[in-house]
């Protein structure tokens, strides 16, 4: 997909996640829109683009959030790489693949980012964080993934090159 479309899309999703989501959903549990976008695009489209989407979207999240710079870029880039790998090994039409992938990806990203924050000196109450943030966020992301997956499948049909005879 053209970078002229991807960069504004990633910026828009990052702004929505960092500004609109906290207003609309106060509290610690919010959908991770960028993670759903990266995982969904990796499963739908593949071809290495989700890695770049994850890294680029992570940079936007790092710019707009208060976390240490690079935390989102590295974690979302790695998850994008894994999602790209899944696209080559499974059928895109199977809805269970993106659901299972977003569930596992949410757990990996949230726990990995908290571990990195703790390594940097931040205090993490693991029991509270796991049961009140990570698990509910994973459930919410999994519940919203079919909608994101449907949108991304439509987008893929628009941008994927067509065979001409």
Q: What's the pLDDT at 44? A: 86
Q: What's the pLDDT at 95? A: 80
* pTM, full prediction: 0.90
**3-state helix/strand/coil string of the chain:** CCHHHHHHHHHHHHHHHHHHHHHHCCCCCCCCHHHHHHHHHHHHCCCCHHHHHHHHHHHHHHHHCCCCCCHHHHHHHHHHHHHHHHHHHCCCCCCHHHHHHHHHHHHHHHHHHHHHHHHCCCCCCHHHHHHHHHHHHHHHHHHHHHHHHHHHHHHHHHHCCCCCC
For the cut 90, the answer to whether the pLDDT of residue 162 exceeds it is no
CATH of domain 3-159: 1.10.1760.20
Q: What's the pLDDT at 84? A: 85
Average confidence score pLDDT of the chain? 90
For the cut 90, the answer to whether the pLDDT of residue 135 exceeds it is yes
In which band, very low, low, confident or very high, does the pLDDT at 164 lie, cut at 50, 70 and 90? Answer: low
């Amino acid at each position: 997909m053209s970078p002229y479309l991807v960069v504004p899309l990633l910026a828009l999703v990052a702004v929505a996640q960092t500004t609109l989501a906290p207003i609309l959903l106060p509290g610690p549990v919010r959908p991770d829109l960028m993670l759903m976008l990266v995982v969904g695009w990796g499963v739908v489209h593949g071809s290495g683009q989700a890695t770049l989407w994850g890294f680029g979207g992570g940079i936007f999240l790092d710019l707009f959030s208060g976390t240490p710079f690079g935390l989102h870029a590295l974690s979302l880039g790695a998850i994008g790489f894994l999602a790209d790998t899944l696209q080559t090994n499974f059928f895109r039409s199977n809805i269970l693949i993106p659901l299972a992938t977003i569930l596992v990806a949410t757990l990996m990203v949230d726990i990995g980012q908290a571990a990195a924050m703790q390594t940097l000196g931040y205090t993490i109450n693991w029991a509270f964080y796991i049961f009140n943030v990570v698990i509910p966020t994973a459930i919410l992301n999994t519940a919203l993934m079919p909608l994101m997956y449907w949108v991304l499948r439509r987008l893929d049909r628009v941008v994927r090159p067509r065979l001409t005879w």
